[in-house]
Amino acid sequence: MNILIGSNVHWWNAEAAYAAVTARLLKEEGHRVFVLTRPGSDNEKKLRLMGLEVMVEPDLNTHNPFKLLNSYFQLKGFLKKEKIEIVNPHRSEGFPIYALARKSLASFRLIRTRGASRKVRPHWPNRVLHRDWTDAIIVPGKIVAERDLAGIPISRDSLHVIHYPIDLPVIPPAEALNEYRTEFSIPENHKILAVVGRIRQEKGHLILAESFQQLLQDFPLTTLLILYRDTPDELPEMLQLQNQLKELGLMEKVRFDAEREDIRSLMAFADGGVVSSIDSEVICRVAVEFFSVGTPVAAMPTGCLPEIILEGVNGTLAAEPNARSLKEAMARMLNNLVPLSQGARSDAETRFGPRKMLEKTLDVYQQTLLPIEQNGEMA
């Protein structure tokens, strides 16, 4: 198949990673895949490093109506020239342009992947775009369909849940992982919890600080490892977190580090992962990455996390989005690390394996192509 993946994301985030992994898996399966992204973006750099066929034109992010019209004709020309059969945009920016091209050409199928937490307003244009001009919709979790697409009359047959996939890395031996204790000056008898990602308000680090203080009353021999990226030292959220940790008297029990290349090994080093987000978390990439190295996760009940975290199997879930509930979830995890670690790795293999994601994606593509083949429209 000839496939165009739309990933006009500037930053390298979970949404961009989902599109990139989809493209890579399809390419490895022998399909010709183009990825359209934004020029000069972090996403473009990552996509090129992955060896993917990257495009930065047409510009579907412009707000200039004349440029947008030109982009529409550019897109149509490309689709016809390359005989594209599947167009799979992962962003709302430019989606109407894809839909107009689909309506005009009728030579390809349009599959929309929604990986961001944005409620679709159920007005007439959106109903037409999603119900009539889109052949299928892929979501990384049921919550997207139940919450963000509420009010849009989409048939069950055209809606598909496909989780973010994860590869299973070779876990370094315990001796190698234990070297991190020396690097971070963590006592031998301490359990280690790790939180990974940007430090932003929606990531819930301030609530996590409260929860960790409460947890230390029952588990005093515990260290919290905060591994962050894309967070300048002078960022208000970083300064606020550091001030709160000082006020709570936690600085001796917390370690910071940033922009690590060995992040998956550090995840394996941790006894448990924590996802304290209070907003978004549609794709939940970090949780699945923890699973891949056999590290269970305690998480807030945010976004798709109640679907990703299976209580007592691969981790624990806070009953409510507050500090006390998260503390209780972390305590349950620490009390059951061995079975939860085994369950996390097993779940990464079964539910989140790349092969499973590829097969499900190809099933969606092929189902939408059937009418084209039967009607002979691709001639």
Chain position carrying tokens 């996760």: 297
28, 149, 231, 374, 376 from 31: Cα distances, Å = 7, 30, 37, 21, 21
DSSP bridge partners of 274: 298
CATH fold of 174-350 reads Rossmann fold (3.40.50)
Q: Is 2-165+353-374's fold the same as 174-350's?
A: yes
**Predicted TM-score (pTM) of this structure:** 0.86
Quote the pLDDT of residue 371. Answer: 61
Quote the pLDDT of residue 313. Answer: 97
Q: What does CATH list as the number for 2-165+353-374?
A: 3.40.50.2000
Tell which residue, 154, 156, 166, 239, has the closest CA to residue 201. 239
Q: How far apart are CA 189 and CA 199, in angstroms?
A: 28
State both tokens at 38. Answer: 């934004």
The amino acid at 50: M
Neighbour-count burial for 268-307, b at 16+ CB within 10 Å, e otherwise? bbbbbbbbbbbebbbbbbbbbbbbbbbbbbbbbbbbbbbe
Tell which residue, 289, 285, 270, has the closest CA to residue 333. 270
Q: How far apart are CA 115 and CA 92, in angstroms?
A: 10
- Hey, which bits of 182-259 come out as E strands? 191-196, 222-228, 254-258
Q: How far apart are CA 109 and CA 86, in angstroms?
A: 5
pLDDT tens track, the chain, 379 positions: 999 999 998 888 888 999 999 999 999 999 999 999 999 999 999 999 999 999 999 999 999 999 999 999 999 999 999 999 999 999 888 899 999 999 999 899 999 998 776 777 777 787 888 888 899 999 988 877 777 777 777 777 888 999 999 988 988 898 899 999 999 999 999 999 999 999 999 999 999 999 999 999 999 999 999 999 889 989 999 999 999 999 999 999 999 999 899 999 999 999 999 999 998 788 888 999 999 999 999 999 998 899 999 999 999 999 999 999 999 999 999 999 999 999 999 999 999 999 999 999 999 999 999 865 444 333 3
End-to-end Cα distance, the chain: 15
Sketch the domain layout of the chain as residue ranges.
2-165+353-374, 174-350
